[in-house]
Amino acid sequence: AHVGDLVSSNLGSIPDFPEPGVLFRDITPLIANGPAFKELMEILGERYAGTIDAVAGLESRGFILGAPLATELGVGMLTIRKAGKLPGHVIGVDYALEYGTARMEIRPESVRPGSRVLVVDDVLATGGTANASVELLRRCGAEVETIAVLLELEAFNGREVLAGSGVKVESALL
Ligand code: 5GP
């Protein structure tokens, strides 16, 4: 199957979550579909084989997608988490939300300087989370060229935000 078909035929939409007026795109059906999930990882594994040294997943759905991709590729898995979740020495980047701010953190010792890191998440919206994560990885000395997502919510212009940081967005589905 085509990767876009795998995603589109296994995607849910939940109105008014997490707040009224928001249509939440739900990957739960996809990851619950064993054959579809496996095929998705095989396709993405072929796409990125030999081009990256580590996968960085963004908490928390980026972990679900990133970890099996990392094992498929035979590379390490990095976790970029919301503030206060990682133990030990961490560095963080704050970024703006529609209301307020958020902060993503990483353990810099987990990143090998000069390594090529693929950022993975389920959905790209404004690009704020991904952009902060790219900045974190680069501060650790990683080379970040691409972020892979299943779904891009085009209206939020995340792709442009990331282009400003010199990062290419690869999405299974628009
Ligand atoms: P951004 O920072 O690009 O505005 O938001 C992206 C982050 O919020 C991602 O970590 C993503 O998981 C989450 N997110 C935003 N909207 C949705 C959505 O409709 N569905 C899902 N599954 N995640 C979303």
pLDDT attached to residue 1: 82
**One-letter identity of residue 63:** F
b/e sequence 79-88, b meaning 16+ C-beta within 10 Å: bbbeeeebee
Say how many Å lie between the CA of residue 30 and the centre of ligand 1.
Answer: 16
H or E element that contains 143 = strand 143-152
Active site residue 61: yes
DSSP 86-115: S-SS-EEEEEE-SSSEEEEEE-GGGS-TT-
Say how many Å lie between the CA of residue 131 and the centre of ligand 1.
Answer: 13
Active site residue 98: yes
Q: Which of 11, 93, 123 to mutate to test the pocket of ligand 1 (most atoms within 8 A of CB)?
A: 123
Do 125 and 95 touch, CB atoms closer than 8 A? no
Q: What are the per-10-residue average pLDDT scores of the chain (174 residues)?
A: 94 96 97 98 98 98 98 98 98 94 98 98 97 98 98 96 98 92
Do 84 and 107 touch, CB atoms closer than 8 A? no
